[in-house]
Amino acid sequence: MRVIKVEETEIASWTRTLLAEQRVVAVQERDERFVFDELRQAEDLRLDHDVTLQPPLRYLLPEKEELVAFDMAGRYQPAESDERPFVLLGLHPYDVAAIRQMDAVFAQGVPDPHYSHRRALATMVACDVETPSSNVFAGTMGTAVVREGYDVLLTRIGRDYLVESRTGKGDGLLALFGDDVQEASPVDLRRREAVWQRNRQGLRQHELDCPPDALPRLLALGYNDELWQERSELCLSCGSCNLVCPTCYCFDVQDVVNLDMKSGKRLRLCDSCMLQDFAKVAGGHQFRLRRDRYRHRFYRKGLYMPERFGFVACVGCGRCIDSCVAGVANPVDVYNALLQRHPEAVEEPLEGESVASLGKALEALLGRSAGEVPTPVVVHPQATAVKPRREEPDPWLAMPRQEPATLERELEQLVAKDPYVPERATIVEKRAVTQHETFYRLRLDSGRSLGHQSGQFVQISLMGIGEAPISVSSGPTDEPDFEMVVRRVGNVTEALERLEPGAKVGVRGPYGTSFPMTELRGKDILVVAGGIGIVPVRSAIQEVLRHRSDYGRLTIAYGMRAPQDRLFGAEIAAWLDEPGVNILETVDHLEGLWHGRVGPVTTLLPNCGIEVGRTAALVCGPPVMYRYVLSDLVAMGMLESDIYVSLERKMKCGIGKCGHCQINGTYVCQDGPVFTYAQVRNLPEALQ
Ligand SMILES: Cc1cc2nc3c(=O)[nH]c(=O)nc-3n(C[C@H](O)[C@H](O)[C@H](O)COP(=O)(O)OP(=O)(O)OC[C@H]3O[C@@H](n4cnc5c(N)ncnc54)[C@H](O)[C@@H]3O)c2cc1C
Ligand code: SF4
Ligand code: SF4
Ligand code: FES
């Protein structure tokens, strides 16, 4: 680290040199507000801005970007990038803190090469706040001053600036001031300390009445508070609060066909969890109503992100407050109001009873197993102290410090493994199985086997249409073929129906958790399936039958709307011929020819003859089915940890990045779709 002192005029000439060498994106004035934009001339740079309209995150995660290029012959490849190294100039400390958070988010699990590529190309020049904005509260969030996450930091002390280099890249920028520069003296550094102290105390237009690390507790206690209903009634579901937020990163994915009609691109577009259709799924089922969407934004920032990543995902920039015409987006207002109703969140030490109730509330909201001791939530209000919950390497934070050649190589390798690029596959068999559902057998063109486990899903891609998550319906094998059954509900599923054997589709995955078939060896298996829910569990059924002697009795309780909706009829007859297999079926409505039972699937359970102590249940069906089936199984004496459910949510990325599939703080694409009932029993959004 090196700190030099320069005059204000030298910043202008240094910026000119920078501009001659690199692309510079910097803060500039537009119509009496401030924005980050391409800098054309050094004179346009402003370091005295209060806050920018959009966060600098948009230069690392653009509002719209190309993820994948494709052609109509079914070839997919990573989008070509002609981006060059650039300097992001004029970031306030809270935005630096936010970018540190995004680094952790996009590096977690399956790293996102597009974000990481830009992040590695960016040199971050931060500047301490000179003019506080009218709604900034970074002081209260611990992000008014940062000591990490930037390459260069500029701090105005009187008529001069101190310029600190923090990294190798920063040293390069400092060198552009020339050799004849003055090192900062101890007095200069003390004056900088005074600026920091002023900002820590001054950037507090709103004051949180509790330390930020008390927010997870507060939110765990306040989930069912009336406040969410009261405040959400004014919310217009416009999404502005998300779109201006430096820590909101949810996205949508859409295909666009080029004018040549032979090629196209898959785009990623900024999205907002406040918009009405964000979590809406097939059949119009709406997993979050307006109150739930409003609450979700505050929970994401104050509870789910701290639990997953170790930081509160609000850095106090105040942009959401500026942008909300309804006046209900202010996090401090909301958290303080909730605190008034739940003062016990900050009372120390907690009494025995409150500890127990807090433990229960946290367990409920974070989806821990019953009886599992809640691990303390580690929260770092200083967003710079990012601590991922799972210990994982953090390659992107280290990258900018690498030698350019190594960096280039690593980026190439990463792009070659781009998780958004589907593999090409061929439809080798297709047949209608009901009026609305079609069976497909697919083969990966590479000839490799999919390598899936029972219960996992793939993202099926159709060029120019989009992607849809579909369960693999066949059991794991070494063969290159796998099977699925698809119900036509919208764009992708209907376009798939128009394809014939020989046609090409894209496949990503397999993704998600699976039924633990190895652990379940020796047990009896009860499958409870409703409607199309038989599709994912068929994979487990096939596995049990393929290794018949490894498992005990197999009982299948299968309910469907009407006889004509029955899937796998011929196969069900063959399953019955296997030793130790019992199949019970029922229809909701008696239409057409049916000699079996009539009634919901739960009517099959009392007569299914299972020995609860030695049985594991695999349950999959429409949302409405779960509550009844699960409570009946528990009433029969089954342990919640012996019941496995497969849940469905809207999905866009499949790799824990887009935010669409969240159930409270749980990501269905990564933490599911297969969960034990114990894991989701207390998640309010799971089984509604
Ligand atoms: C893990 C998982 C496994 C699935 N397995 C199967 C399967 O084996 N067979 C099958 O037919 N379907 C399955 N689905 C549902 C399937 O993904 C959706 O029906 C499909 O994405 C709809 O896409 P579309 O483009 O045809 O519809 P769209 O045109 O996108 O939308 C039509 C309607 O479907 C909703 N929708 C969009 N995405 C989803 C989604 N992921 N889940 C539910 N509704 C959605 C939309 O909100 C809209 O209401 C699964 C979903 C998940 C999450
Ligand atoms: S809180 Fe405000 S900005 Fe956010 S969606 Fe509602 S009305 Fe729009
Ligand atoms: S929630 Fe509001 S104040 Fe907090 S970081 Fe996002 S936009 Fe800024
Ligand atoms: S986070 Fe994108 S599908 Fe789960």
User: Of 411-415, 460-464, 483-487, where does mean pLDDT reach its minimum?
Assistant: 411-415
Residue 6 backbone zone (phi > 0: left; psi -120 to 50: alpha; other: beta): beta
Torsions phi, psi for 145 (to 5 deg): -135, 135
pLDDT of residue 406: 54
pLDDT in tens, 55-90: 999 999 999 999 999 998 888 998 888 789 999 999
Cβ atoms 224, 347 nearer than 8 A:
no
Beta bridge partners of 524: 615
Question: Which residue in the block uniquely carries the two structure tokens 């739940």?
Answer: 342
Kindly report the pTM of this predicted structure.
0.88
Closest atom of ligand 2 to 236 CA is: 7
518 CA to centre of ligand 3 in angstroms? 45
Q: Whose CA is nearest to atom 5 of ligand 3?
A: 314
Q: What is the mean pLDDT of residues 267-276?
A: 91
Q: Determine the Cα–Cα distance for residues 206 and 227; give it in Å rounded to an integer.
A: 19
Q: Whose CA is nearest to atom 6 of ligand 1?
A: 470
Ligand index nearest the alpha carbon of residue 239:
2
Which class for 225: exposed (0-12), middle (13-18), buried (19 or more C-beta within 10 A)?
middle
How many angstroms separate the Cα of 241 from the Cα of each of 223, 235, 277, 289? 21, 11, 16, 17
pLDDT in tens, 332-391: 999 999 999 999 988 764 445 444 444 455 555 555 443 343 332 223 233 222 233 333
Helix/strand/coil for 622: coil
pLDDT in tens, 564-576: 999 999 999 999 9
Q: Whose CA is nearest to atom 6 of ligand 3?
A: 245
Cβ atoms 537, 601 nearer than 8 A:
no
578 CA to centre of ligand 3 in angstroms? 59
Torsions phi, psi for 649 (to 5 deg): -140, 165
Beta bridge partners of 619: 528, 645
Question: Which residue in the block uniquely carries the two structure tokens 């937020």?
Answer: 245
Q: What is the mean pLDDT of residues 576-586?
A: 94
User: Residue 167 pLDDT more than 50?
Assistant: yes
Q: What is the mean pLDDT of residues 546-550?
A: 95
pLDDT in tens, 502-537: 999 999 999 999 999 999 999 999 999 999 999 999
Ligand index nearest the alpha carbon of residue 459:
1
Binding-site residues, ligand 4, Cβ < 6 A: 651-654, 656-661, 667, 669
Cβ atoms 263, 72 nearer than 8 A:
yes
Structure tokens belonging to residue 176:
């552009």
Q: Determine the Cα–Cα distance for residues 246 and 143; give it in Å rounded to an integer.
A: 13
* HEC per residue, 144-185: CCCCCCCCEEEEEECCEEEEEECCHHHHHHHHCCCCCCEECC
pLDDT of residue 1: 86
Q: Whose CA is nearest to atom 8 of ligand 2?
A: 238
Helix/strand/coil for 539: helix
pLDDT of residue 80: 83
Cβ atoms 292, 363 nearer than 8 A:
no
- Determine what percent of the chain is predicted with pLDDT higher than 70: 89
Q: Determine the Cα–Cα distance for residues 549 and 35; give it in Å rounded to an integer.
A: 67
pLDDT of residue 685: 86
pLDDT in tens, 650-663: 899 999 999 999 99
Structure tokens belonging to residue 145:
């001053």
pLDDT in tens, 428-444: 999 999 999 999 999 99
Q: What is the mean pLDDT of residues 458-485?
A: 95
Q: Determine the Cα–Cα distance for residues 526 and 356; give it in Å rounded to an integer.
A: 34
Ligand index nearest the alpha carbon of residue 471:
1
pLDDT of residue 261: 86
Torsions phi, psi for 195 (to 5 deg): -65, -45
Domains of the chain: 2-202 (no CATH), 212-366 (no CATH), 423-511 (2.40.30.10), 524-646 (3.40.50.80)
Which class for 435: exposed (0-12), middle (13-18), buried (19 or more C-beta within 10 A)?
exposed
- C-beta 331 within 6 A of ligand 2: no
Torsions phi, psi for 298 (to 5 deg): -75, -35
Mean pLDDT of the chain: 89
| Neighbour count for residue 229 (Cβ, 10 Å) | 15
Q: Determine the Cα–Cα distance for residues 423 and 418; give it in Å rounded to an integer.
A: 11
Structure tokens belonging to residue 13:
């000439």
pLDDT in tens, 88-100: 999 999 999 999 9
- C-beta 323 within 6 A of ligand 2: yes
Through-space distance between the first and last CA atoms of the chain, rounded to whole angstroms: 54
| The amino acid at 532 | I
Q: Determine the Cα–Cα distance for residues 523 and 234; give it in Å rounded to an integer.
A: 53
